[in-house]
Structure 1
Amino acid sequence: MPKLYLLFFLSLSFLPFISSSDDYKSFVYAGCSQTKYTPGSPYQLSVESLLTSLSKAAESSTYANFTSSSAEPAYGLFQCRADLPISNCDSCIHSALSQLSALCPGATGAAVQLRSCFLRYDKESFLGKPDDTLLYKRCGGAAAGGYASDVFGLRDAALGSLTAAPPTGGSYRVGGAGYVQAMAQCVGDLSPKECTDCVESAVAQVKAVCGFAVGADVYLGKCYLQYWSNGVYPSRHNHVDETGKTLAIIIGILAAVALILVFLSFIRRAGGSGKY
């Protein structure tokens, strides 16, 4: 995702507050451009018009892309997981829109990936362009016995079934082998061949970055892939992410410091009010 600075750490702060019933809207990552548009500029009007069009389209479709017609056009799209009901897709996209405005205010380009939907806009067209850049990964716990475990033979077979789809295969693909299941979805602006290429890249990257994991998901610029075992999605595994652990510690420390400062301020005010 060129020119977008990814905000992975926000998944740590959002996920604990989301109930299992709302899991399809849980936060995965966001990316914001470093540049901002000028308030009241033609481009701001283009962005607002574009996002309005995407919001309306989500009421009746799981995928749409638009280009605002103006001197400074904005390009954008949204996509929901293909098996998500329209009503849930609409809800997911509205959640993505609200998080987009909160996380990337005034950004000339931004993207939000929730568990079951994706939304992106930019000043430069990215529509129809392949992108297999690895943006985000989540790796489950290691299988007992490492590669000696039979899970990896089943995993490879399940992932292989995703790339074995014919050239006319759709953007949403499911596969499995034994007790290992897998799914992948490409953004709808890719051709069938480009989608297969992206899924093949995702398969190679999930094996490289998640090694012994019994479940994982990876998000690339124009597709994502998940596999899981024993009927459990990787999002429900105990994921290993050292960056997340470090940030959790930092957030905890900052919260503790803030509470201490509030307490000390209260003590000072109380002491001052007792003086004549």
Structure 2
Amino acid sequence: MVTHVSMASLKLVLLLFILSFFNLNTCKAQEQNTDPVYLYHNCSGGNTTANSAYQLNVGTLFSSLSSKSIEFSNDTVGTSSSDRVYGLFMCRGDVPTALCQQCVFNATRRLRSECSLAKQAVIWYDECTVRYSNRSFFSTVAVRPRLGLLNTANISNQESFMKLLFSTINTTADEAANFSVGLKKYATKQANISGFQSLYCLAQCTPDLSPQDCRSCLSGVIGDLPWCCQGKQGGRVLYPSCNVRYELYPFYRQVTPAPPPSSPLLPPPASANSQGGGGISTGTIVAIVVPITVAVLLFIVGICFLSRRARKNQGSLKEGKNVDDITTVESLQFSFGTISAATNNFSAENKLGEGGFGEVFKGALPTGQEIAVKRLSKSSGQGGEEFKNEVVVVAKLQHRNLVRLLGFCLQGEEKILVYEYVPNKSLDYTLFDPEKQRELDWRRRYKIIEGTARGIQYLHEDSRLRIIHRDLKASNILLDSDLSPKISDFGMARIFGVDQTQGNTDRIVGT
């Protein structure tokens, strides 16, 4: 009877071990089979024309990169310097080959859509980075554009935590820069915060960089961590050439060490003396092993749960006024003196026009960047803080067929919006000008129709915040240097304080 009970207990122990390792493998399998997570993209360098040799070469490059089944690859397509395109991809050092290939495929497909005419672009996923340009950038450090992501939860003891973070992340960067095995410049480190909490760090460079250039690039992203993530429980900064990340949970894949041999847990062979006082009884072994197994099982479940919840708490941050910094109010705010100087004190010579929300002036920042300044009329229903918050929300809407909102100015009753300058004025100016309308052959008209539709689709369906324009017309469709359309005045109902959320209204808005 005792032997029967002991065998049943041993079966229970083995079953619990199997369940614990099954749960661990299930959790890892869920992590590994997750679709690639899109973070952000940036299109730059001006536009080319549709179906040009350069754009055809970009398509060939994408096909080439997507076909590779390795962690890193760069390629060049094109015979002449005018249409040659350079590109590369890099997958995170712990990402399996199949997921890496899927990430590159998803990234190139999104770039075809979002940056279809751009001469340069970079796109970041959690699992990979893809980049292309009309200029050779191989083995060269690129630090712009940059992207920051942060966990919105605060750390309790910020001073000691940031000291530990910088010590650990710099050690990780040193190791990544000098890593020379395979196609990787990648490293991870774990540091103990307390008895119950650990810090996990990751650093990586594109493998084409020298160790010195890699470490220089990583020094830059580490130096940007306070800008991004001061006092936060997790965060990362990404450059085109390198990136770092830290969290309070293991966000990267680790090689699971082999479990210890199970034979010491088994009782000695049964014998006539097996129930004597000289050995450990089966019941004692069961009493020790079962609680440990259950504790391990609960720990693994807890890690999986915290890992998923922490990922949902990720917030985002982009780079400065002249690039993509669109998360904080401070990063978007211009001083009134800067705007006044840029527009020559809102002179009549700089005035571009006047719409329903106020006057528009052309200006130039000290950097030389041209801007369009919309000086809102003083009938806005918004308070200062509400105005700032809505500007931040609308500034996050970015699409190649939307006019980019660069920032704002708020001083006294003055409320000013700063946009990118679009050189070819509005569609109605071109349509009704006898000379200009000759430029609108059917191909260009179709391009304007298609681009406007894409911009509206983004506002209505594809953006995180659904925006209804409420006043779409030819004068609110601007044309850039290639006569590509850019929708303006979207989100004005929010910024200007008009209630856009009411489902039932008797008031017709727009023209």
Q: What range is the shorter-chain TM-score in?
A: 0.7 to 0.9
Summarize the Cα distance change of 1:214–1:35 in structure 2 as closer, same or farther, 3 Å threshold. Answer: same
Q: Match of 1:142, as an amino acid?
A: N
Structure with the bigger RCO (C-alpha within 8 Å, sep 6+) is 1
Q: Is the 8 A contact 1:161 1:176 kept in 2?
A: no
* Residue 255 of structure 1: how far off its partner (Å): 5.0
Answering whether residue 324 of structure 2 is matched by residue 243 of structure 1, we say no
CA distance in 2, matches of 1:67, 1:82: 23
AA at the equivalent of 1:139: L
Distance 1:151 1:134, change over 3 A: farther
Q: Is the 8 A contact 1:31 1:111 kept in 2?
A: yes
Match of 2:165 in 1: 155
- Pairwise mapping of residues 35-184 of structure 1 onto structure 2 (< 5 A)? 35-57=46-68, 60-71=69-80, 72-133=83-144, 135-140=146-151, 141-147=153-159, 150-165=160-175, 168-170=178-180, 171-178=185-192, 179-184=198-203
Deviation at 1:222, TM superposition (A): 0.8
Q: Normalising by structure 1, report the TM-score.
A: 0.75
Could you say which residue in structure 2 is the equivalent of 1:6?
none
Q: Deviations over 1:138-188 (max 9, x none)?
A: 1222212432xx433332232122133286324111112111110011112
- Distance verdict in 2 for CA 1:111–1:196, change over 3 Å: same
User: Counterparts of 1:61 and 1:38 in 2: how far apart (Å)?
Assistant: 32
Q: Answer whether contact 1:24 1:114 (CA < 8 A) is retained.
A: no
| 1:216-260 Cα shifts (integer Å, max 9, x gaps) | 110123101101125466644453768287427986462597998
Q: 1:134 to 1:218 in 2, by over 3 A?
A: farther
What is the alpha-carbon distance in structure 2 between the residues aligned to residue 168 and residue 255 of structure 1? Answer: 51
RMSD, aligned α-carbons: 3.4
Per-residue deviation, 1:261: 10
Aligned residue type for 2:327: T
1:166-214 C-alpha deviation (Å, 9 max, x unpaired): 8632411111211111001111221122111111221121134321112
| Cα distance in 2 between the residues matched to 1:121 and 1:240 | 23
5+ residue gaps, structure 2: 1-29, 193-197, 251-305, 318-325, 329-388, 398-463, 472-499, 507-511
Q: Does 1:218 align with 2:237?
A: yes
Alpha-carbon spacing, 1:156–1:81, altered in 2? closer, same or farther (3 Å): same
Which 5+ residue runs of structure 1 have no aligned equivalent? 1-18, 266-276
Q: Give the corresponding residue for 1:5.
A: none
Give 1 or 2 for the bigger CA radius of gyration. 2
Whichever residue aligns with residue 393 of structure 2, its letter is L
Range moving further from structure 2, 63-72 or 155-164: 155-164
Identity of aligned residues (%): 22
CA contact (8 A) 1:143 1:214 kept: yes
Contact 1:184 1:226 in 2 (8 A): yes
Instruction: Tell me which amino acid in the other structure corresponds to 2:141.
Output: P
Distance 2:34 2:227 in 1: 27
1:201 equivalent in structure 2: 220
What displacement does 1:67 show?
0.8
1:108 counterpart SS class: strand
Q: Deviations over 1:84-142 (max 9, x none)?
A: 11111111111111111121112222221111111111111111111233611112222
Does the C-alpha gap of structure 1 residues 190 and 40 become closer, same or farther in structure 2, counting only changes over 3 Å?
same
Aligned residue pairs total: 244
**Preserved contact between residue 151 and residue 180 of structure 1 (Cα < 8 Å):** no
* CA distance in 2 between partners of 1:205 and 1:126 (Å): 22
The SS at the match of 2:130 is strand
Q: Give the direction of change, closer, same or farther, for the CA distance of 1:164–1:54 in structure 2 (3 Å limit).
A: closer
